[in-house]
A and B are shown apart, each in its own frame.
Chain A
């Protein structure tokens, strides 16, 4: 934990990295200054895009000692303001699951190749990013911890499957190879508490290491301080649980 007499410095910048099928995409990268070794995190932005909240979150993780990268999953949509680009992605039904998983696997490789890596990499995502994080940690070996914050559509009915989302992430649960922390709100409608219970049951059935927290009086996206669903008390506790979990598995 940071003490007031400690030196602190970080480098935060946009970088280029190789994603799905070797495509070059841009990413936001923040790391503590110094030789390390540092644990690393991949941050998966939410449906509203690669926005300011995710830049702030990337620096927050770096402040807590993690070399952290947040790839722009909408890089192939063209460039503009984060909202305009996210609106274009929304109109197209979002990004394809295999493309997102490829980009996030590329981000993990980027982190593992850094000379200051301690060899441990976690993945964190909110909203659609929680779903993508879950999918990636199930489909890609090499992650040591997963944080799924209110990832919707992990549990999917057959009629909800699309060419871009052909398989429900829940169906890959058996392949999950790292511990998972789940943060949810009981007033959320995607995922509903019933869907979270299904996800938890699947993790239990397959003998996975999981820790789920369902917060009362909280709905979807309750960490976002700039949205009406923000819940201060639950957010403070949620962040504590996130960093305690990562300390346990990545330090």
Chain B
């Protein structure tokens, strides 16, 4: 890609691709040419499972503003969940 700005991070969860649900093991975050979004550059996130091949991918291509809003919203939701004691890590700690 032309900017080559990319980061990879290990994650846990599930993603729904063209063949249904699969375990996602890595998120690839780049700021580069999108395939579909009508922008020259976009914030691209690919949720992938490399062990299952290139097709195990859930992709989003976001404008810069949308990406920043998304990050803030994810953190806000996690903070509310934490305040209410709903996080999985908090529940596990209580059970111990």
Residues of A within 8 A of B (CB): 47-48, 77-81, 83-88, 90-91, 93-94, 127-128, 152-153, 160, 162, 165, 189-190, 219-221, 227-229
Q: What is the CB-to-nearest-CB distance from B63 to chain A, in angstroms, rounded to a whole number? A: 13
List of A residues within 8 angstroms of B33 by Cβ: 47-48, 127, 220-221
B54 lies within 8 A of A189 (CB)? no
Q: Which residue of A lies closest to B50 (CB)?
A: A88
B6 lies within 8 A of A228 (CB)? no
Instruction: Say which residue of A81, A83, A91, A127 sits within 8 Å of B48 (CB atoms).
Output: A91
Instruction: Say which residue of A79, A93, A165, A220 sits within 8 Å of B6 (CB atoms).
Output: A93
Q: Which residue of B lies closest to A79 (CB)?
A: B54
A–B Cβ pairs within 8 angstroms, 10 of them: A79-B54, A80-B55, A83-B35, A84-B57, A87-B28, A90-B1, A90-B28, A91-B30, A91-B48, A153-B2
Chain A proximity mask over B1-27: 1 for CB below 8 Å, otherwise 0: 111101010000000000000000000
List of A residues within 8 angstroms of B53 by Cβ: 78-80
B54 lies within 8 A of A77 (CB)? yes
Known A-B contacts A86-B35, A87-B46, A87-B59; the reply to A93 vs B40 at CB < 8 A is no
How many angstroms between the C-alpha atoms of A78 and B52 in the bound complex?
A: 11
How many angstroms between the C-alpha atoms of A219 and B55 in the bound complex?
A: 31
How many angstroms between the C-alpha atoms of A215 and B49 in the bound complex?
A: 42
B57 lies within 8 A of A87 (CB)? yes
Q: What is the CB-to-nearest-CB distance from B18 to chain A, in angstroms, rounded to a whole number? A: 9
Q: Which residue of B lies closest to A153 (CB)?
A: B2
Q: What is the CB-to-nearest-CB distance from A17 to chain B, in angstroms, rounded to a whole number? A: 21
List of B residues within 8 angstroms of A81 by Cβ: 54-55
List of A residues within 8 angstroms of B1 by Cβ: 47, 90, 94, 128
Instruction: Say which residue of A48, A127, A189, A190 sits within 8 Å of B35 (CB atoms).
Output: A48
Q: Which 5 A-B pairs have the closest CB atoms?
A: A80-B54, A91-B28, A84-B54, A152-B2, A47-B1
Instruction: Say which residue of A78, A128, A219 sits within 8 Å of B40 (CB atoms).
Output: A219
List of A residues within 8 angstroms of B6 by Cβ: 90-91, 93
Chain A proximity mask over B26-45: 1 for CB below 8 Å, otherwise 0: 00101011010011100010
Task: With A78-B53, A87-B46 given, name 5 new contacts (CB 8 A).
Answer: A77-B54, A87-B35, A87-B48, A190-B2, A220-B33
Known A-B contacts A86-B35, A87-B28, A91-B48; the reply to A229 vs B40 at CB < 8 A is yes
List of A residues within 8 angstroms of B57 by Cβ: 84, 87-88
How many angstroms between the C-alpha atoms of A45 and B53 in the bound complex?
A: 22
List of B residues within 8 angstroms of A94 by Cβ: 1, 4
B4 lies within 8 A of A153 (CB)? yes
List of A residues within 8 angstroms of B39 by Cβ: 228
Instruction: Say which residue of A88, A128, A160, A227 sits within 8 Å of B54 (CB atoms).
Output: A88
Q: What is the CB-to-nearest-CB distance from B84 to chain A, in angstroms, rounded to a whole number? A: 35
List of A residues within 8 angstroms of B28 by Cβ: 87, 90-91
List of B residues within 8 angstroms of A127 by Cβ: 2, 33
Q: Which residue of B lies closest to A227 (CB)?
A: B38
List of B residues within 8 angstroms of A229 by Cβ: 40
B2 lies within 8 A of A128 (CB)? yes
